[in-house]
Each structure stands twice: as C-alpha cells, then as structure tokens.
Chains A and B, each alone.
Chain A
C-alpha cells in the first residue's frame, strides 16, 4: 500500500499520457499498474467505465463464447436423447446398468450447465468449491440412506 502511494504521482502522469491511449501501452507499465489504478479513482471518465466492465475478471479472461454455448447445447441434447433411449424397457439392458448410465448422464448434464452456462468455469476456485462441497453432502446422504432402505427390504 505504501509503495502504491509513493508511486501515485508518477503513475498519475503516466496514466494521463500513456495508459489512456492504448491498452497495450497500459499493460507495459505492469509495475506501476496497481498505483495507476488507485490514481484513477478520482478520475471520472468514460474510457474507464467501458474498460472496467469489458475485460478483466481476474486471472481469467471472461467473454461469452457463443460457439461454446452451442456446443454445450448439442451435448445436452445428445445426452437427453441417449437417456430417453436407454430408458426404453424394450432395449433389454440390465436394470442396474441402465440406472447407473442414467444417473451418470444426468449428473454430467447438470455439471455441463453449471460449468458453462452458469460460468462456474470462469469463477475462482474458492467460489467453485463453495458451491460443490456443500452439494456433495446430499449426494453422500442419498447413497447411504437409499442403500439402507433397499437393504432393509431384501434382508
């Protein structure tokens, strides 16, 4: 922080001439960047509003990728058709295999939606874990309680 304050005046100058012009120019001053940022707080200019929303989501550039969205759409569609297909009793595959396939395909579809459509892929690791770890508990709970209920039945 102290370092940033020191560099503030210098950064202010720099930002006025170099950084404003082009993105690449701004990025070259990587070292002064943090302080330049602070210096900019007082500025009220449109370039920044536009800049701030557009690019930086931290470590990961995050721009909606339409092609990716359509690929995921096709994947969801194919999985749904497959699911409906293997659920047909006339197919004659074993019930255990069918159930295993259906559950894993449903979980795969849910994961695709969460990662790509809900942008979890672009979020930080901590946010991903904040979502996934709590959800692992009902899954575990389901395995234990459903097998317990089934076990009491066949006992």
Chain B
C-alpha cells in the first residue's frame, strides 16, 4: 500500500489509468456507471414526480373512497427496506474483501447480497399476489383502476425490475469472481456492481418513504 500511482502494463494486473485532473483515478467504467445511474435516477424521478403531482392535486389519497382500495402495509415493507439495507452492507463487505484480494470472502458476501435481492423479490411477490396471505391484487388494488393503484404499481414494479436485473448482474460478477477474474487487484468491477446495487437500495429508501409512509 504505497502512495504511488504507477502504471502497470502487467497483463495480469489491474489496469491503472493515469490520474485525471478532474476525475482522479476513477476508472472509465466507474464514471460510466455513475452517468448511467444519473439517467436512471431521472427515470425514477419522472415516476415519483408523476405520483407527487397526481397526489398533490387530489383531495384525498386514495382519491376515490368508493373503490375501497387497500391501505399499503407499512410493517412488511419496512422489513423489505431492512433487507435491502442489509444487502447493501454485504455488498460493501464484498468489495472490502475484494480489495484485500480475498476471493472466497468476496464470493460469500456477493452470494449473500444476491440472496438479499432474491428475498426482496419474493417479498414483492407476496405483496402483490400473496404467498402466505392475500396480496394487494386480491385486496382490490387493481392496475388501471385509479391513480393510486397506477402510480403504486408502476413505481414499485419498475424498482422490482431493477432488483431483478441487479440480481442477474451480481450473479455474473459472482461467477467471474469464482473464476478468479478479479484477483491481482482488478476489483473495480466489484465496486461498479456495488454502485448499481446501492443505487437500487437508495431508490427503495425514497420509494418506501414517498409511496408507503407519506
């Protein structure tokens, strides 16, 4: 661990980019992921804005009491929030292990992160369709019936899609970790998948507050 920024043209070592005056030593991949996340954040911002405007312009929420739409369960989704926060922790621990060059621990923490994502998706399935109890659909929250139902389903399913793609992305990175692709200090892919995963967690924090709690 020195404070030098040497180039390493080693075929097996990390690719070290020259230090950029603006972006420091952030790899092009990392900068690209940040730009993608910004654009993705705009997609979520659009959905949340639509929700905010529709709700702000309604006298009551849910807007039509005669539809008898169910109230969103807070306690269960608070559990899902907790789950995603935990999976963020396992993600940073996977990255920390990768920085230390510990392939086994990296793989273990990545696997735990994937498990967190899968459990979250199961939780969302339970919420929509019900596994051990009635889901929202059974309780009368139907897509297309009201702004309340539409904004809820569009936003949460768009987020669920991100969790799903995050799980696939993490699985690819896990397989590559097990193949030893990230040994010798080439761990920036693990940090980049982490950026995506933390973003999914971050968005859920906002969705949970704006759609469920407010």
Q: Are B205 and A109 in contact (CB under 8 A)?
A: yes
Does B7 have its Cβ within 8 Å of any Cβ on chain A?
Answer: yes
Q: Are A53 and B85 in contact (CB under 8 A)?
A: no
Q: Mark A67-92, 1 if CB is under 8 A from B, else 0.
A: 00110010011001001100100000
Contacts of A63 in B (CB 8 A): 1, 99
The verdict on A131 contacting B34 (CB below 8 Å), with A48-B13, A53-B16, A56-B2 known, is yes
Q: Are A135 and B38 in contact (CB under 8 A)?
A: yes
Contacts of B184 in A (CB 8 A): 49, 53
How many A-B pairs have beta carbons closer than 8 Å: the answer is 209
Chain B residues 70 to 96 lying within 8 A of chain A, measured CB to CB, are 74-75, 78, 81-82, 85-86, 88-89, 91-93, 95-96
Contacts of A93 in B (CB 8 A): none
Q: Are A126 and B52 in contact (CB under 8 A)?
A: no
Residue of B nearest to A119 (CB): B191
Q: Are B52 and A106 in contact (CB under 8 A)?
A: no
Q: Mark A87-119, 1 if CB is under 8 A from B, else 0.
A: 100000000000100110111011001100111
**From DSSP, what is the main secondary structure of chain B's interface residues?**
helix
Report how many residues on chain A are interfacial, defined by Cβ distance under 8 Å.
68
A56 vs B7: C-alpha distance when bound (angstroms): 12
Does B165 have its Cβ within 8 Å of any Cβ on chain A?
Answer: no
Does A2 have its Cβ within 8 Å of any Cβ on chain B?
Answer: no
Contacts of B74 in A (CB 8 A): 84, 87
* Residues of A participating in the B interface, judged by any CB pair closer than 8 Å: 23, 26-27, 33, 37, 40-42, 44-46, 48-61, 63-64, 66, 69-70, 73, 76-77, 80, 83-84, 87, 99, 102-103, 105-107, 109-110, 113-114, 117-119, 123-124, 126-127, 130-131, 134-135, 138, 141-142, 145-147, 149-150, 152-153
**Can you list 12 A-B contacts (CB < 8 A)?**
A45-B10, A51-B1, A53-B13, A54-B1, A64-B99, A110-B206, A113-B202, A124-B24, A134-B42, A146-B52, A149-B54, A150-B56
The 6 closest A-B pairs by CB, nearest first: A49-B13, A53-B185, A138-B45, A64-B96, A106-B209, A149-B57
